Amino acid sequence: MRSKATIKRLNMYRNFKAKRDKKGRVVRAAPFQSTAPPGSVSRVDPNRRWFGNTRVISQDALQNFKEAMKVKNPYEIMLRQTRLPVSLLDEKRTKKKADILASESFSDTFGKKAKRKRPRINFDNLTALVQSAESSRYGYDAEKDQALVREYTGVRDAISDPHFKAGTSKRVWNELFKVLDSSDVVLYVLDARDPMGTRSKYIENYMKKEKPNKHFIFVINKVDLVPVWITKRWKMVLSAEYPTLVFHANLNKPLGKVALMGLLRQLASLHAKDRQQISVGIIGYPNVGKSSIINAMRSKKVCNVAPVAGETKVWQYVTLLKSIYLIDCPGVVYPDGATESEMVMKGVVSPYISSCGFEFKARKPFSRPFFTRMKTSIKNISEVQSP
């Protein structure tokens, strides 16, 4: 059966020219030709709209439109800066001087006729001032005060191992902000063994202030390493702040895959009117299982994984469904003053790297090279610790 488009196309082929008789006279004009006989006078409807401006726009409306287009859109990011001199197109705005004398004259502020006798304080009574001073006193930490002058006692802190700076470089933070800007939904992956230790308050506050329109969800991974009652308690505690899901990243039998997939489908249908696809960014500390979650969601290996931190170097897009994309992000560590032992316990740094500078990747945990490396590392540790 022919469709409407096919019928219209065939009619266009048939009626593309006028039909003529044997003498060449037009018997039936083409659809786009006029049927008026030759020599007839054409008349125009006497309407004033044909002899004036159809639409008029003022200069103020153009200026308002130009300013509205300059407003920053939270859904737009600059991926590549152009080399053209775009700055020449922007009009130079003259900075107005702060007219302080209009609010307070010089004679009213200084001199014998000065009216302001005391400094301006943002508190109405003494009680509010005391409460503010106490809160600032309790929040002060002398160890974090870099402007504090300390007496040199002849003892300095030892130089930290460069491996402990993993996840704190500017390049990794740039990758994180790329993921946050490109994502509609952010999954923050936590380690079930230490959820509060692998949680960054800085990123949460940044999302509240700068990205309040994005969905923020906690995912507790590696729940197979802790008892069930601990997982239930942590889920109850974290659910009071953000939506929380539990997950066990396994290619064969993942836990929580159905719940997470259903949640992402609901969010995709929620934004179906605004956009055709949504992007889901997966962030968190190093070695918490971000890439393993993506592999478990796809039921095959699409991202490289390793038993040590730092396998993912740059962000990468992975297609989950036609309407859902996953974004893998490198692990990021916010400098919150954690000790080296705490960083090793969180999995940010491998203990073999921190103790004797020996790194390994156990691709086959029960192979002969694995036990050989383990024996070598234990021997090196015993030699270092022996007096």
Q: What letter represents residue 269's amino acid? A: S
Question: What's the rounded mean pLDDT across residues 142-159?
Answer: 66
Phi-psi map region of 154: left, alpha, beta (phi>0 left; psi -120 to 50 alpha): left
In this structure, is residue 150 part of a structural domain? no
Encoded tokens for 345: 């316990």
Please check whether residues 280 and 357 belong to one and the same domain. Answer: no
Percent of the chain having pLDDT more than 90? 6
The verdict on 179 and 314 lying in the same domain is yes
318 and 365 within one domain: no
Same domain? 262 vs 186: yes
pLDDT digits (tens, 9 = 90+) for 128-139: 888 888 887 777
Mean pLDDT for the chain overall: 75
In a domain, residue 126? The reply is no
State the alpha helices, DSSP H only, in 212-271.
228-238, 257-270
Q: Is the pLDDT of residue 307 over 80?
A: no
Question: Are residue 292 and residue 169 in the same domain, yes or no?
Answer: yes
Do residue 359 and residue 264 come from a single domain? Answer: no
294: domain CATH number is 3.40.50.300
Residue 55 scores a pLDDT above 70:
no
The DSSP line for 307-352 is SSS----S-EEEESSSSEEEEE-------S---HHHHHHHTSS-HH
Q: Is the same domain home to 302 and 363?
A: no
- Among candidate residues 315, 316, 320, 219, the one with its CA nearest the CA of residue 277: 320
In this prediction, residue 226 carries a pLDDT of: 86
| 279 domain-assigned | yes
pLDDT score of 357 more than 60? no
Give the phi and the psi of residue 190 in degrees, each rounded to 5.
-115, 150
Cα separation, 70 vs 59, in Å, equals: 17
Nearest to 245 by CA among 217, 214, 278, 215: 217
Domain count, the chain: 2
More confident residue, 198 or 166: 198
**Is 297 part of a structural domain of the chain?**
yes
- Please, which pLDDT band fits residue 362 given cuts at 50, 70 and 90? very low
Average pLDDT over residues 168-191: 86
- Is the pLDDT at 17 greater than 70? The verdict is yes
Residue 149 forms part of a structural domain = no
Question: Structure pTM?
Answer: 0.53
Q: Quick one: pLDDT at residue 188?
A: 92
User: What pLDDT does 29 receive?
Assistant: 79
What would the pLDDT profile of 241-259 be if each residue is shown by its tens digit?
999 999 988 888 888 889 9
User: Considering the domain boundaries, does residue 366 fall inside one?
Assistant: yes
How far, in Å, are 150, 152, 287, 295, 340 from residue 155 at the CA level? 12, 7, 35, 49, 19
The range of the structural domain enclosing residue 185 comes to: 165-328
| Whether residue 258 sits in one domain with residue 308 | yes
Q: Of residues 247 and 112, which shows the higher confidence score?
A: 247
pLDDT digits (tens, 9 = 90+) for 257-283: 899 899 988 888 888 888 888 889 999
Task: Please indicate whether residue 351 or residue 296 has the higher confidence score (pLDDT).
Answer: 296
Least confident of 89-103, 121-135, 359-373: 359-373
pLDDT band of residue 382 (cuts 50, 70, 90) is very low
**Residue 3: what pLDDT?**
92
Hunting for tokens 């024996």 — which residue is that? 375
**Do 250 and 355 reside in the same domain of the chain?**
no
Structural element, H or E, at residue 139: none
Residues 307 and 209 in one domain: yes
In a domain, 225, yes or no: yes
79 lies in some domain = no
Q: Which pLDDT band, with edges at 50, 70 and 90, does 212 fall under?
A: confident
Name the strand (E) or helix (H) holding 126. Answer: helix 126-138
Q: Verify that 318 and 242 share a domain, yes or no.
A: yes
Could you give the percent of the chain with pLDDT greater than 70?
A: 67
Q: Are residues 173 and 319 in the same domain?
A: yes
215-236 mean pLDDT: 89
CA–CA dist 9, 331 (Å, integer): 57
| Residue 285 and residue 345 in contact, taking contact as beta carbons nearer than 8 Å | no
Query: Quick one: pLDDT at residue 350?
Result: 61
